Amino acid sequence: MRVDGKPYTTIWAGDDGASIKIIDQTRLPHRFEIITISDVDTAARAIAEMWVRGAPLIGVTAAYGLALAMRADPADANLERASAHLKAMRPTAVNLQWAVDRVRRLLEAAPPPQRFKTAFAEAGVIARDDIALCEAIGMHGLSLIKTLVAGKPPGAPVNILTHCNAGWLATVDWGTATAPVYKAHDAGLAVHVYVDETRPRNQGAALTAFELGQHGVPHTVIADNAGGHLMQHGGIDAVIVGTDRTTASGDVCNKIGTYLKALAAKDNGVPFYVAAPSPSIDFSIADGVREVPIEIRSEAEVTHISGLTADGEVTRVRLTPEGSRALNPAFDVTPARLVTGLITERGVIEANASALAAAFREGIAG
């Protein structure tokens, strides 16, 4: 997608063929800075310190990181060490484990002198596969948006509400929840996005607003509290969110607060779609509310916030009184009964066990 009028992906190979470049997402939206990574330790740090975030992007970064490790030392011992090091950076990130294992298995079968080149190429394949997957979600979602456009007065924009950042910044390009929006915008359809701020980490206000704005998509930031009111008054035509984990029965674990928007959508007859790439589906879990463990993150994400001062400095401030504690669950689970449809790379399907099994388990019904 575009930044300052120029097309970008979130990660790309350097011209030297021996480094990668990423956008430092911790600096967004106030600074747009590109970092060159030439060694596995920096790649690991990029993952641990969240210069890159979003499951697909973390996976690709780790794959490239393993390649950079092989450039320095392609021996088996280093392959083992670098794999373990990268995987430990975000232990609960499924894509990270998957991408590292995929590249490592390939390398175990390759002679050491070919390992860097093999891994670097494979990381590129993983990146391109992710772009294709997001584009497929985008095209299926575009069909949904076209249907919404048909129901609006001529020229009136379709209003999409999204939560958190399931945007291109979380993937390699296009994003998941945003892919239908970008496809619609690029096709000349009038689409406007209400962006939930997404406290406490403000991924909506910081990242989704940034990427939509840079690509030229009309959007409006709202407090997380506002979406229900907008739906009550016909202000939202559809909700599209991402998913961190989709259960076999279609429950959706996504950023904290998603469930509240799903309830409001149901109460107001607003379609609630989840952009759910197949890697997000966990067929080992059925009941999301009971079975998905929810990460409790630092209190400081609630009690403090960072922003840009009038002097142009990024500064952290405390919001709560001294002595007040905070609780910070990072995700919640939206039961399948509240989900209108899952926008997958294979089409829009119902959020239930039989539809998911039919689409992705090739007949092995759960």
Flag whether 25 is marked binding: no
Task: Compute and round to an integer the Cα radius of gyration of the chain.
Answer: 20
Q: Is 315 in the site for a copy of itself (CB under 8 A)?
A: yes
> Where do the H-state alpha helices sit in 73-178?
76-87, 94-108, 112-150
Q: Judged by CB under 8 A, which stretch of 52-60, 179-187, 250-258, 339-347 contacts a copy of itself?
A: 250-258
149/178 Cα distance (integer angstroms): 17
Angle at 209 between CA 55 and CA 152, to 5 degrees: 105
Q: Is 69 in the site for a copy of itself (CB under 8 A)?
A: no
Task: Please give the size of the binding site for a copy of itself, defined by CB under 8 A.
Answer: 67
Cβ closest to a copy of itself, residue 161 vs residue 275:
161
Flag whether 203 is marked binding: yes
| Backbone region of residue 155 per phi and psi (left: phi > 0; alpha: psi in -120 to 50; beta: other values) | left
Site for a copy of itself (CB under 8 A): which residue of 30, 121, 147, 156?
30
Residues in the chain: 366
Fill in the DSSP letter of residue 52.
Answer: S
Angle at 258 between CA 256 and CA 132, to 5 degrees: 105
Cβ closest to a copy of itself, residue 29 vs residue 277:
29
Answer whether 130's CB lies under 8 Å from 56's CB: yes
Out of 173, 196, 224, 244, the active site residue is 244
Cβ closest to a copy of itself, residue 28 vs residue 86:
28
Q: Is 325 in the site for a copy of itself (CB under 8 A)?
A: yes
- Which three-class secondary structure state does DSSP give residue 72? helix
Place of tokens 């609780």: 327
The token pair that represents 309 in the structure block? 């001062």
197-226 positions binding a copy of itself, by CB under 8 A: 197-200, 202, 205-206, 209-210, 213, 219-226
The token pair that represents 312 in the structure block? 């142009």
272/338 Cα distance (integer angstroms): 7
Site for a copy of itself (CB under 8 A): which residue of 332, 342, 343, 351?
332
Q: Is 304 in the site for a copy of itself (CB under 8 A)?
A: yes
Place of tokens 């790649």: 43
Q: Is 298 in the site for a copy of itself (CB under 8 A)?
A: no
Active site residue 244: yes
Active-site residue numbers? 244
**Which residues define the annotated binding site for substrate?**
53-55, 90, 203, 254-255
For a copy of itself, the binding residues (CB under 8 A) are 28-30, 194-195, 197-200, 202, 205-206, 209-210, 213, 219-230, 232-233, 255-257, 259-261, 263-264, 267, 289, 294, 302-310, 315-329, 331-333
**Which residues define the annotated binding site?**
53-55, 90, 203, 254-255
